[in-house]
């Protein structure tokens, strides 16, 4: 008997359903083969079918999970649920062409996993409204962690976990806009730890890192949670204080930060005390632009450091004027090096026993094309701060070596010239030892023809590179003089360690020799001490016969000052040599 029409229709429908089921199984197999979890959401019944991999992804086995859920979104982190629902709603309403989203799923063990979700409608009614959605969930937790690490490295300081310069600048920009809308003030503070380099040099970088981490916590403890504290790198921090009514609030916070930072730090077995210099600028009083506020705070911090450190300073327009003048001076010095505006002058150093010129000090002079002679007191500190002192020092050394070679050949083979060397030059790799040796070799000069003058403070610098450079210079046969002796804090042990040759009595002790018994006593004590240590003494700033006679009677070896000659150009100094 042939099957009825109804039976044939039923068989056809059955085969069609089988083909659909097989196609769906193959589709699911392909999806799950990629390692993704699959979900099938019937929008009419609200039923959601979840694949085995989907369950495993959040820590459930097939047995302990019913496989179906009326509200699969319950597993989405509460902080992401509204956004996910909104995204799906827009897709279902046809407002966006596809559904792709990233969110967090809560796992069985309480942890969270980042998920990349993709979905598409596979069934629609006659009006095109989705009836069924099938989608996948991909575990992107590792990728998200990597992105977070990169993000943290890009915007946070690794040591202190504070925002870095880049993130701080973004937040400052945001706070400026917010304060402008609210009509409130904002304060920007730059904080520099004074002499932090000494911590690294004496106790090592791990101890320095520990101090920085502690300093970050102390600064953060002085401000509100809504304020921003950042580390710019090195020993520089910054703070944004937003929503201020009065500048007095800023002063109070600055005082608290200074007090907090100056409390002792326990670093291993050592108790360390440091201070901080803080620069402060206000929005909108001082400036309304990020870059201008940034410059203002930096200038105010620089002013606080120059005023003695361990204090805070508010920005003033005068600082801007000074900063511009300083920038012009730096640019002019660069041009001066290129256009040969610098010249080396020489001041004779006289043997007090014979009256003859046996030594001289080389001194830099600057002939500015518009300003005339610029005092070294004005430009040398700026040259040191900017690093230009290295190039200037090289120029002085090369010119001195060239002049000295001629003078020793033509006038006096015993002549020695002393050159001032800045501490900054010692901190530059290869300087000044390499330059000194190069100049001596190039001019065929013996090492004893040159003397370098350094400050007492340089001897106290424990940086190994400085000590090594100084010992290299001394071992090469170049003599060493301590300039302005008696005004610093030198230790006699350093005089023995570095085999110092000369002590120069500062002119502040020479000026009142004839009228102040105390100054005379100090000068005599320096001379006697030097003689006991086998050192020779040079008195600076000798201007009168009375000063000369008193120094000679006290046993001083050499003297320099206006009594004998002012610093003069090379040709005039050569004329002095010719006259004896």
List Cβ neighbours of 478 (8 Å cut-off, separation of 6 or more). Answer: 436, 440, 447, 448, 450, 451, 452
The per-residue DSSP string of 110-174 comes to S-EEEEEEEEEEEEE-TT--EEEEEEEEEE-HHHHHHHHHHHHHHHB-TTT--B-HHHHHHHHHH
Say if CB 280 and CB 315 are below 8 A apart: yes
Give per-residue burial for 467-486: e unless 16+ CB within 10 Å, then b: bebbeebbeeebbbbbbbbb
Q: What kind and span of H or E run contains 571?
A: helix 570-579
In this model, does residue 90 exceed pLDDT 70?
A: yes
pLDDT at 126: 80
Q: Which residue(s) pair with 103 in the sheet?
A: 115
The CATH code for residues 325-579 is: 3.20.20.450
Q: 10: which 2 tokens?
A: 């039923």
pLDDT one-digit tens code per residue, 15-74: 666 666 665 665 555 555 557 888 888 888 878 888 888 888 888 887 776 544 546 678
Q: What's the rounded Cα separation, in Å, for the pair 511 and 308? A: 27
Q: What's the rounded Cα separation, in Å, for the pair 222 and 187? A: 14
pLDDT one-digit tens code per residue, 198-217: 788 778 888 899 999 999 99
- Can you tell me the mean pLDDT for 560-578? 94
Q: Residue ranges per domain, the chain?
A: 12-145, 157-315, 325-579
Task: Beginning with the edge strand found earlier in the chain, give each strand of the sheet holding 99-106 in spatial order.
Answer: 68-69, 48-50, 37-42, 130-139, 112-124, 99-106
Q: 362: which 2 tokens?
A: 């080389």
Q: How far apart are the first and last CA of the chain?
A: 146
Pairing of strands 48-50, 37-42: antiparallel
- Cα-flanking dihedrals φ and ψ of residue 299, to 5°? -65, -40
pLDDT at 70: 47
- The reply to whether 325-579 shares the fold of 157-315 is no
- DSSP class of 368: E
More confident residue, 359 or 40: 359
Pick from 39, 46, 31, 43: which is nearest to 92 by CA? 43
Pick from 442, 445, 387, 395: which is nearest to 419 by CA? 395
Q: 241: which 2 tokens?
A: 């204080």
pLDDT at 221: 93
Q: What's the rounded Cα separation, in Å, for the pair 514 and 549? A: 10
Q: What's the rounded Cα separation, in Å, for the pair 363 and 565? A: 13
Domain 12-145: give its CATH architecture: 2-Layer Sandwich (3.30)
CA atoms within 13 A on the CB side of 566: 3
pTM tops 0.75: no
pLDDT at 417: 96
The CATH code for residues 157-315 is: 3.30.70.270
In this model, does residue 489 exceed pLDDT 70?
A: no
pLDDT one-digit tens code per residue, 130-174: 888 888 888 888 888 887 777 777 788 889 999 999 899 999 999
Q: What's the rounded Cα separation, in Å, for the pair 54 and 528? A: 91
User: Rg of the chain's alpha carbons, rounded to an integer?
Assistant: 39
pLDDT at 67: 47
Q: What's the rounded Cα separation, in Å, for the pair 42 and 123? A: 9
């Amino acid at each position: 008997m042939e099957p009825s029409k109804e039976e044939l229709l039923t068989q056809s429908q059955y085969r069609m359903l089988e083909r659909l089921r097989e196609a769906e199984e193959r589709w699911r197999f392909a999806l799950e083969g990629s390692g993704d979890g699959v979900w099938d959401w019937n929008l009419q019944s609200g039923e959601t079918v979840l694949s085995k991999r989907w369950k495993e992804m959040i820590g459930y086995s097939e047995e302990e999970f019913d496989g179906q859920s009326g509200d699969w979104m319950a597993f989405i982190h509460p902080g992401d649920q509204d956004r996910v629902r909104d995204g799906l709603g827009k897709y279902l309403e046809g407002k966006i062409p596809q559904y792709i989203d990233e969110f967090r799923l809560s796992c069985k063990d309480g942890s969270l996993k980042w998920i990349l979700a993709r979905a598409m409608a596979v069934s629609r009614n006659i009006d095109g409204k989705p009836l069924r959605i099938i989608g996948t969930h991909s575990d992107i937790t590792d990728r998200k962690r990597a992105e977070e690490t990169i993000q943290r490295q890009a915007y946070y300081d690794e040591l202190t976990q504070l925002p870095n310069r880049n993130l701080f600048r973004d937040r400052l920009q945001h706070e400026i806009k917010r304060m402008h809308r609210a009509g409130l003030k904002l304060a920007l503070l730059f904080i520099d730890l004074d002499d932090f380099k000494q911590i690294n040099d004496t106790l090592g970088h791990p101890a320095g890192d520990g101090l920085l981490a502690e300093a970050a916590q102390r600064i953060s403890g002085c401000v509100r949670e809504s304020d921003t504290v950042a580390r710019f790198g090195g020993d520089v921090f910054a703070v944004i204080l937003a929503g201020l009514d009065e500048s007095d609030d800023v002063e109070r916070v600055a005082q608290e930060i200074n007090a907090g930072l100056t409390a002792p730090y326990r670093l291993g077995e050592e108790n360390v005390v440091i201070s901080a210099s803080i620069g402060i600028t206000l929005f909108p009083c001082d400036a309304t632009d990020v870059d201008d506020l940034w410059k203002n705070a930096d200038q105010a911090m620089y002013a606080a450091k120059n005023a003695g450190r361990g204090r805070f300073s508010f920005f003033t327009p005068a600082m801007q004027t000074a900063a511009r003048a300083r920038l012009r001076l730096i640019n002019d010095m660069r041009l001066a090096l290129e256009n040969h505006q610098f010249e080396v002058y020489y001041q004779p150093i006289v043997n007090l026993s014979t009256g003859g010129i046996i030594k001289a000090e080389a001194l830099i002079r600057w002939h500015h094309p518009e300003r005339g002679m610029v005092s070294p007191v004005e430009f040398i500190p700026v040259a040191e701060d900017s690093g230009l002192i290295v190039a200037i020092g090289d120029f002085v050394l090369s010119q001195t070596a060239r002049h000295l070679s001629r003078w020793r050949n033509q006038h006096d083979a015993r002549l020695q010239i002393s050159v001032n060397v800045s501490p900054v030059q010692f901190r530059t790799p290869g300087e000044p030892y390499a330059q000194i040796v190069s100049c001596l070799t190039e001019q065929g000069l013996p090492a004893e023809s040159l003397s370098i003058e350094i400050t007492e403070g340089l001897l106290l610098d424990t940086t190994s590179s400085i000590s090594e450079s100084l010992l290299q210079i001394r071992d090469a046969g170049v003599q060493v003089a301590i300039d302005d002796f008696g005004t610093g804090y030198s230790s006699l042990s350093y005089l023995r360690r570095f085999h110092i040759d000369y002590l120069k009595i500062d002119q502040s002790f020479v000026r009142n020799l004839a009228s102040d018994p105390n100054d005379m006593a100090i000068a005599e004590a320096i001379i006697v001490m030097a003689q006991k240590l086998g050192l020779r003494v040079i008195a600076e700033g000798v201007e009168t016969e009375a000063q000369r006679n008193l120094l000679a009677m006290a046993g001083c070896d050499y003297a320099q000052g206006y009594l004998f000659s002012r610093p003069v150009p090379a040709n005039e100094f050569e004329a002095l040599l010719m006259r004896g």
